[in-house]
Structure 1
Amino acid sequence: MGDIGIMKPEVFQNLNEIAVEMKTDVVRFTQKLIQTPSISGEEGDLADLLVEEMEKLGYDEVFKDDQGNVFGLVKGTEDGPTIMYNSHMDHVSAGDANNWEGYDPYGAEIDICEIDNQDKTAKDITECIHGRAASDVKAGEAAQIYAGAVLLKLREMGYDFKGKFMFQGVVQEEPAEMVGMKHVIDKTLPAKGLTYDAMVSSEATSLKLYCGHRGRVEMLVTVYGRTSHGSAPWLGINSIYKAVPLISKIKDELYPSLPTDPDLGQSSISLNIIECLPGALSIVPDKTMLSLDRRFIPGEKVEDVIKQIQDIIDELAAADPEFKADVKIKTAVEVSYTGVEYEAEKNMPAWKTPKDHGFTKAAAEALEAVGQEVKYGYWDFGTDGSKTAGIDRKPTIGYSPMQEQYAHTPYDKVRTDFIVKAIAGNAAIFIKATEAGPDAYKTLEW
């Protein structure tokens, strides 16, 4: 057996060569994934494809859990950490097909096109795959699964490596309640006698190492009034009018006062939906509901975020005896394609893995070893890292061939050259991380 206690440079060159050899297969697999619609709650056909591909590639263990999440394990020749490679199986609607400029959202057509470079500073002419979820996250999913195949190839070639590579495809990430990831970590892994030490997300990063994002909580504020006939509004209490000073204080006083993180930017709050009841033209409304999207940085607590709104409510109520309102975190009921049901809060914690954390440093060394320039970034949107890092405080990063600016758009596409690079990069990250010492698995703090 080859000694990979400290991986020799030529082995990392092997990673690149093996990844290039896999290009035809991984591109074809990515096309199959895009051609298989998998809206949230309807991921069953895609899950079967993932299982079939990992079994074909020779994964040591492949299974689905009762919620329909998919797992694939590649076992090292020595004991060591388990690195979870996470992708979600669902995607958002393709929207109006007329906006796709001649591409079938589920066609997975390949052509030579103009596409942003890694930093969005210029356009490259290169081969692309078009279609819904190409950039969120089916190309990243394929690259992760084929990274596991690279490790299998190394083992076949006679190399030793440590730990377990765990691919894990979750259901229902897009609704943003982490029901799939929570089920995986809190129920499935313990039931299987498995755990994990760190996580690599396939969410779009343009081959950069992404190290966190702001948290997100959806709040529902209900302002109460009293109905009357629309012809005699003075007999009622119009809840819309009562909501106006609340909206003004949120916009003009609360938002400017929110804190800022040097990497993640300022916390924010956005009023995105206004509804009223009874909602008839001739009736003064007695309920007005405000849906608030609050993004917050590490160190802010959700209970404090709620209290900020409650304090405004209390202030307005003290000045106006007719003002009544309450605030709560929104919830939703999510049912998986297998029938597992959760009522979940719309609450995703903020997180950040420092650049000097041992796991991030190991990932950076890995990318350098396969000849990739190391750059860092942070997501604008949320990910299932809110569970692994935000709640479990396990080191978490993102690394992916996909580009964030194309996600959820009718221009959804991915570069095939980036997919090949991501196969080698993911495999290298696993090797370097499992060789690293305890510092690579230190609990995150903020």
Structure 2
Amino acid sequence: MGLSVEPQNEAVDLLRRLVQAPGLSGQEAAAAAVVEAQMLRLGFDRVWRDEVGNVIGERRGDLPGPRLVFEAHMDVVEMGRREDWSVDPFGAALRDGKVYGRGAADTKGSLAALITALGSLERAQIRGSLFAVGSVGEETLEGAGLRHALEALQPQGVVVGEPTGCRLAMGQKGRARIVFWARGRAAHSSTPQLGENALIKAAEIVRRVESLPLPEDAWLGRGVMAPLFIQSEPLPPLSSTLPHACQVVYDRRLVLGETEESVLGEYRRALADVPGWELAVEEVSFETYTGRVLRAPDFHPGWHMPPDSAWVRGAVSALEGAGIDPRPHAVPYCTNASTAAGEMGLPALIFGPGDIEQAHVPDEYLAVEDLLRGVEGYRALALGLPLALASQGA
């Protein structure tokens, strides 16, 4: 590692303080205070919170160049069952070279690494402006919080921090939450012929959905359509009544070129001869810790950067120069980059320390070695990507 002891210690200490500041989506105020204080301590030129609660810090360079955003989300998922953890989920225990706790890998490690990296650069090294963003709400609604920051900052490129094992991800599958409603007619369960059982109709919907082939492309692989939830109405404890409605919720993983219209159209055609049903992309909303309500359809497109583009080649070169094997690839999970690249059309990459297999599990951890490699990687990208954008005329 080329880092001096001071930034190494800074990164580990920041990660531990972030883990000790838990917060679900809409409850990130404690983590935001840690992020804001660290940016100020490291001498960022400007540090502020926007109206939805994103924390943004700017490092201005002495050299002309683009505006680049380095982002990671501050929120985490529920800890799950406490008895499944062998450590305090929010204690940030440092043991055997690993920091343990909810969010250590997903994705407070990336946040700690990128803040440390940008804060360690000399102004004479920086081209343009580098922005570190701790975003809100990713675990509930990808991209909604980050979009607010990107629309204000108008960057020329975005690096999203997620656990990639410090490999370079130049694309990802998208994600959609699709809800089917089957409509029926209630009747006593002793005389089902007098009603229409919505659960039976929902079963037919599931059968047809499961029989449909899923699209595939060379970059992102095959799409996925996985059922998550089924619920009929009326709910127990009411008994002896045929359900008059049944809801089935699916998680769809999207490949390149799929839109909300194309995906829903596929299922409408497959179910055209089935009476009494509806479908839609679920709309999700949450209230940020600043009191703003963010609301959007839960549809996040897949995307991929051309591997021969100056943007990707510049990132590969920068990481290799730092002694990091980038091995460019696409990830199967969804991130805030769906908004940056898939919706807003910005050059984007995903990069960060840690393993995605650590996300959302008991005893989640991030190895200190990975964290420090992430700091080196972000430093390299911050210095190399402005040159790459200049070479393609951005």
TM range (shorter): over 0.9
The offset of 1:177, in angstroms, is: 4.2
Q: Distance in 2 between matches of 1:441 and 1:285?
A: 61
Distance 1:375 1:395, change over 3 A: same
| Match of residue 123 from structure 1 | none
Match of 1:402 among 330, 346, 354: 354
SS of the residue aligned with 1:17? coil
Whether contact under 8 Å (1:272, 1:291) holds in the other structure is yes
SS of the residue aligned with 1:314? coil
Match of 1:391 among 343, 349, 373: 343
SS of the residue aligned with 2:35? helix
SS of the residue aligned with 1:22? helix
Q: Distance in 2 between matches of 1:365 and 1:37?
A: 36
Distance 1:25 1:424, change over 3 A: same
The offset of 1:49, in angstroms, is: 0.8
SS of the residue aligned with 2:69? strand
Match of 1:243 among 176, 199, 202: 202
Matched, 1:62 2:47: yes
Q: Distance in 2 between matches of 1:440 and 1:83?
A: 15
Q: Distance in 1 between matches of 2:186 and 2:389?
A: 66
Whether contact under 8 Å (2:142, 2:335) holds in the other structure is no
Whether contact under 8 Å (2:171, 2:331) holds in the other structure is yes
Q: Distance in 2 between matches of 1:243 and 1:59?
A: 55
| Match of residue 247 from structure 2 | 289
Q: Between the two proteins, what is the percent identity of the paired residues?
A: 29
SS of the residue aligned with 1:326? strand
| Match of residue 297 from structure 2 | 345
Whether contact under 8 Å (2:59, 2:118) holds in the other structure is yes
Q: Distance in 2 between matches of 1:148 and 1:223?
A: 52
Whether contact under 8 Å (2:319, 2:377) holds in the other structure is yes
Distance 1:238 1:439, change over 3 A: farther
Deviations 1:60-89 (A, max 9, x none): 000001111100000011221111001101
The offset of 1:227, in angstroms, is: 0.6
Deviations 1:137-176 (A, max 9, x none): 111100000111121xx23xxx343111100111100013
Q: Distance in 2 between matches of 1:52 and 1:224?
A: 53
Distance 1:441 1:405, change over 3 A: farther
| Match of residue 325 from structure 2 | 373
Bigger Cα displacement from structure 2, 128-137 vs 420-429? 420-429
Superposition pairs of residues 85-124 of structure 1, within 5 angstroms: 85-100=70-85, 102-112=86-96
| Match of residue 45 from structure 1 | 30
Distance 1:315 1:111, change over 3 A: same
SS of the residue aligned with 1:339? coil
Tell me which amino acid in the other structure corresponds to 1:431: L
Whether contact under 8 Å (1:198, 1:441) holds in the other structure is no
Matched, 1:168 2:124: no
Distance 1:372 1:343, change over 3 A: closer
Q: Distance in 1 between matches of 2:389 and 2:201?
A: 58
Deviations 1:386-415 (A, max 9, x none): 110001111111111121110100131111
Match of 1:139 among 109, 114, 125: 109
Match of 1:303 among 261, 265, 290: 261
The offset of 1:236, in angstroms, is: 0.4
| Match of residue 183 from structure 1 | 148
Distance 1:329 1:19, change over 3 A: farther
Superposition pairs of residues 175-324 of structure 1, within 5 angstroms: 175-186=140-151, 189=152, 194-252=153-211, 254=212, 257-279=213-235, 280-316=238-274, 323-324=275-276
TM-score, length of structure 2 as denominator length: 0.96
Q: Distance in 2 between matches of 1:422 and 1:416?
A: 10
Q: Which structure would you say has the larger Rg?
A: 1
The offset of 1:134, in angstroms, is: 0.4
| Match of residue 11 from structure 1 | none
Unpaired stretches in structure 2, ≥5 consecutive residues: none
Whether contact under 8 Å (1:87, 1:137) holds in the other structure is yes
Distance 1:19 1:175, change over 3 A: farther
Matched, 1:128 2:98: yes
Tell me which amino acid in the other structure corresponds to 1:399: F
The offset of 1:19, in angstroms, is: 4.9
Distance 1:396 1:20, change over 3 A: farther
SS of the residue aligned with 2:340? helix
Stretches (4+) displaced over 3 A: 16-21, 437-442
Tell me which amino acid in the other structure corresponds to 1:227: A
Tell me which amino acid in the other structure corresponds to 2:272: D
Whether contact under 8 Å (2:258, 2:301) holds in the other structure is no
Tell me which amino acid in the other structure corresponds to 1:268: V
Whether contact under 8 Å (2:141, 2:284) holds in the other structure is no
The offset of 1:288, in angstroms, is: 0.9
Whether contact under 8 Å (1:200, 1:397) holds in the other structure is yes
Bigger Cα displacement from structure 2, 79-88 vs 279-288? 279-288
SS of the residue aligned with 2:271? helix
Whether contact under 8 Å (1:221, 1:327) holds in the other structure is yes
Match of 1:364 among 295, 316, 339: 316
The offset of 1:432, in angstroms, is: 1.0
The offset of 1:103, in angstroms, is: 1.0
Aligned residues: 392
Q: Distance in 2 between matches of 1:181 and 1:31?
A: 24
The offset of 1:226, in angstroms, is: 0.5
| Alignment RMSD | 1.5
